[in-house]
Amino acid sequence: MTEKVIFVDDEDHILQSMKRQLRKRFEVFTALGGREALEIMKENGPFAVIVSDMRMPAMDGIQLLSEVKTLYPDTVRMMLTGNADQETAIEAVNKGQIFRFLNKPCPTSTLVTSIALAQRQYRLINAEREVLDKTLKGSIKVLSELLSLANPVAFSSGYRIKGLVSELAKILEFREPWQLEIAALMSQIGCITLPAEILNKLYVGQPLDDEEKEMYRSHPKIGADLLRHIPRLKTVSGIIALQLMTMDELNQKCETDEDITEEMAIGAQVLKISIDYDMLIYGGATHKEAVKSLKGRKIYNPDILEHMAGIKLVSEQRKIVSVDVKDIAIGMVAEQNIIAKNGALITPKGQEVTWPVLQGLKNFAKQVGVQEPIRVRLSA
């Protein structure tokens, strides 16, 4: 029995009765009150189901289930109470988003059936997440790697900023961090419509003319339109569509467009800060210099920018060595542009060496030749 169930009540004899009735069917934990329940869930989780009484001192059932919803959103929440009224039920559903509302005394058969259904719901939630992690995210990752081989300048930036974006998602407690990670990986997909010289000029710090600027500013919409056809990527496409907007532009857009969610707005600023930071690092700036430059522009969300400034990326702590192609391994990070002997860019600075990247390097080394030695950061 791995799908744990916790019962919460302020009367110990009720909890003991529940345990006696259900211990042969479920792995049961009990807690005298909300605070104790949260401690038990922290120390013994994850829990598939929580069943809480309504009337309890210090923290009532609605407050507890609302807290559980925030801390453990996958845990299925149920309320079992002898103080049922319509107002209580509505508040419990709205604030705690409960799965079932049961009245005391509750027949054992009804309780067993309800818990079994709640456990089934828990399994469905986790099965969906597993499909998301192993299928959607995996497919996007492979697509990003293949695109970075086809156009290193355009698509490798998404792979480079993924770590920074992931750290910011944790700090900001982004509700669905996978959405930000996919937005980072696919942020430049609209650039497939741009001439290569536009991106080359951007990354070496050359100014764009008016026509080139207009073309570049069109790529987020093109990328967002492409991704909207993929199920579950509405928020991701929204983040990508807004990625070039300054904070003021974004605020104005939010006032007139009701379809822009808070996740899209925050995600767009995370993406813009990360991409602009990456361009500065690609151009040779240190972390400190890049942060100073971004702060001087006054166009970003200051809170997100401050969080970004405090992040110490793992890659900065790795040892830098010079190696030949035969010695490069998966997980290393290119510390310089890796160039073929004919002058073609194979892998841009900052790109992590993945399996497709490594195969591409080996193929170039055999057919064309690669300029060696190559400076790389060792894998963690």
- Residue 295, domain extent: 151-312
CATH number at residue 230: 1.10.3210.10
304 and 263 fall within a common domain? yes
User: In angstroms, how far apart are the furthest CA atoms of the chain?
Assistant: 81
164 and 32 fall within a common domain? no
Please give the mean pLDDT across all residues of the chain. 85
Q: Is residue 145 part of a domain?
A: no
Tell me the mean pLDDT in the region 217-245.
90
Distance CA 332, CA 315 (A): 9
pLDDT band at 91 (very low <50, low <70, confident <90, very high): low
Please, what is the end-to-end C-alpha distance for the chain in angstroms? 37
Question: How many structural domains does the chain have?
Answer: 3
Q: Is residue 140 part of a domain?
A: no
pLDDT band at 108 (very low <50, low <70, confident <90, very high): confident
Look at residue 281 in the predicted model and tell me its pLDDT.
85
Q: Is residue 137 part of a domain?
A: no
CATH number at residue 11: 3.40.50.2300
Q: Is residue 143 part of a domain?
A: no
CATH number at residue 359: 3.90.105
237 and 373 fall within a common domain? no
Note the pTM of the prediction, 2 decimals: 0.65
Whether 45 has a pLDDT exceeding 60, the answer reads yes
Distance CA 127, CA 139 (A): 17
Look at residue 128 in the predicted model and tell me its pLDDT.
74
Q: Is residue 113 part of a domain?
A: yes
Tell me the mean pLDDT in the region 42-48.
91
pLDDT > 90 fraction of the chain, expressed in percent and rounded: 36
Q: Which residue has the higher pLDDT, 324 or 230?
A: 324
Residue type, 256: T
Smallest CA-to-CA distance from 34 within 70, 13, 11, 9 is with 9
Whether 88 has a pLDDT exceeding 70, the answer reads no
Whether 227 has a pLDDT exceeding 80, the answer reads yes
Sheet with 374-377: strands ordered across:
320-323, 374-377, 333-334
Distance CA 110, CA 119 (A): 14
164 and 298 fall within a common domain? yes
Q: Is residue 134 part of a domain?
A: no
287 and 358 fall within a common domain? no
305 and 176 fall within a common domain? yes
Of 291, 312, 333, the residue that ends a domain is 312
Tell me the mean pLDDT in the region 235-246.
94
165 and 304 fall within a common domain? yes
Q: Which of 151-155, 184-188, 202-206 has the highest mean pLDDT?
A: 184-188
Distance CA 34, CA 216 (A): 53
Contacts of 158 (CB under 8 A, 6+ apart): 144, 148, 184, 185, 186, 187, 188
Of 125, 160, 184, the residue that ends a domain is 125
Q: Is residue 193 part of a domain?
A: yes
36 and 119 fall within a common domain? yes
51 and 35 fall within a common domain? yes
Q: Mind giving me the DSSP string for 222-285? A: HHHHHHTTSTT-HHHHHHHHTTT--HHHHHHHHHH-TT--HHHHHHHHHHHHHHHHHHHHHTT-
335 and 274 fall within a common domain? no
296 and 165 fall within a common domain? yes
Q: What is the DSSP letter of 195?
A: -
For residue range 142-166, what is the model confidence (pLDDT) as tens digits?
777 777 777 777 777 887 888 889 8
Look at residue 8 in the predicted model and tell me its pLDDT.
94
160 and 296 fall within a common domain? yes
Look at residue 317 in the predicted model and tell me its pLDDT.
52
Q: Is residue 212 part of a domain?
A: yes
